[in-house]
Amino acid sequence: MYKNHRTAWSHGTRLGQNFLKDMGVANAVVNAATALAPKIAVEIGPGKGAITFMLARRVERLTAIEMDEALARGIRKATEPMGNVDVMEDDALRADFRGIVGGSGEGAVLVANLPYYMSTPMLRKAFQEAAFKRMVFMLQLEVAFKVCAAPGTDGYGPLAVARWASHDAEILFEVPPSAFEPVPSVRSAVVIIRRTEPKATIPYDKLMKFTDAAFMARRKNIKNALLSSPLGLGQEEIAKALSIAGLAGTERAEEIEESKICGLASILMG
Provide the pLDDT confidence category of residue 16 given band limits of 50, 70 and 90: low
Structural domain boundaries enclosing 191? 3-195
pLDDT at 131: 94
pLDDT at 92 over 70: yes
Q: Return the H-helix or E-strand segment holding 107.
A: none
Q: Could you tell me the CA-to-CA distances from 138 to 119, 135, 189, 191, 250 in Å, in that order?
A: 9, 10, 6, 6, 37
Residues 131 and 190 in one domain: yes
E-only strand ranges, the chain:
19-20, 40-44, 61-66, 85-89, 108-113, 134-140, 167-175, 180-181, 188-195
Residues 87 and 8 in one domain: yes
Helix (H, G, I), strand (E, B) or coil at 125: helix
Count of structural domains, the chain: 2
pLDDT at 4 over 50: no
Among residues 195, 221, 246, the one where a domain terminates is 195
Q: What is the rounded CA–CA span in Å between residue 240 and residue 62?
A: 50
Residues 181 and 79 in one domain: yes
Residues 157 and 24 in one domain: yes
Helix (H, G, I), strand (E, B) or coil at 193: strand
Name, in order, each residue with C-beta under 8 angstroms of 70's C-beta and a sequence gap of 6 or more: 9, 10, 11, 12, 13
pLDDT at 257 over 60: yes
Task: Judge if pTM exceeds 0.85.
Answer: yes
- Which phi and psi angles does 116 have, rounded to 5°? -55, -45
Residues 162 and 251 in one domain: no
pLDDT at 32: 98
Name, in order, each residue with C-beta under 8 angstroms of 136's C-beta and a sequence gap of 6 or more: 29, 32, 33, 109, 110, 111, 112, 172, 190, 191, 192, 193
Residues 188 and 218 in one domain: no
pLDDT at 105: 77
pLDDT at 129 over 80: yes
Residues 34 and 134 in one domain: yes
10 Å Cβ neighbour count for 175?
Answer: 23
- Produce one character per residue of 71-104: b if its CB has 16 or more CB atoms within 10 Å, e if not: bbbbbbebbeeeeebebbbeebeebebeebbeee
Residues 233 and 141 in one domain: no
pLDDT at 213: 97
Task: Report DSSP state, residue 2.
Answer: T
10 Å Cβ neighbour count for 249?
Answer: 17
Residues 38 and 149 in one domain: yes
Residues 180 and 208 in one domain: no
Residues 33 and 140 in one domain: yes
Among residues 154, 173, 195, the one where a domain terminates is 195
Mean pLDDT score of the chain: 93
3-state secondary structure 21-55: CCHHHHHHHHHHHCCCCCCEEEEECCCCCCCHHHH
Say which CATH number the domain at 225 has.
1.10.8.100
Say which CATH number the domain at 68 has.
3.40.50.150
